[in-house]
Amino acid sequence: MAPAQPSEEQLIHCRLDRLLEQRNMTLTDLSRAVGVTLANLSVLKNDRAKAIRFSTLAAICEVLKCEVGELLVVDAVAPPGSTMDATATGKARD
């Protein structure tokens, strides 16, 4: 079975900065605790990551004492001019 191709309409966002702030923890602290480089965590925190290993995800969640859904969120974005976009703005499509 081929892996699903990500849709341009669906974006995954990382809430690492929010979770770190809530726990009074720095990215450097997390890097040391998880054993992942500061550079790699920075890529994740800034929503530039294309992939993440399950082991890394599990380690981050364990250290932050959170669930995956608190760290990563799916945000559906409607393409401009779509029905969903028109509904959200209250304007009917022609």
- Structural domains in the chain, CATH included, are 10-89 (1.10.260.40)
**How far out from the chain centre does Cα 59 lie?**
16
CA nearest to 60, candidates 70, 49, 74, 51: 70
Q: What pLDDT sits at residue 9?
A: 54
- Evaluate whether 36 touches 56 at the Cβ level (below 8 Å): yes
Q: What pLDDT sits at residue 31?
A: 98
pLDDT in tens, 24-78: 999 999 999 999 999 999 999 999 999 999 999 999 999 999 999 999 999 877 5
Q: What are the φ and ψ backbone dihedral angles of 72, each rounded to 5 degrees? A: -115, 130
pTM assigned to the model: 0.71
Q: Is 88 helix (H, G, I), strand (E, B) or coil?
A: helix
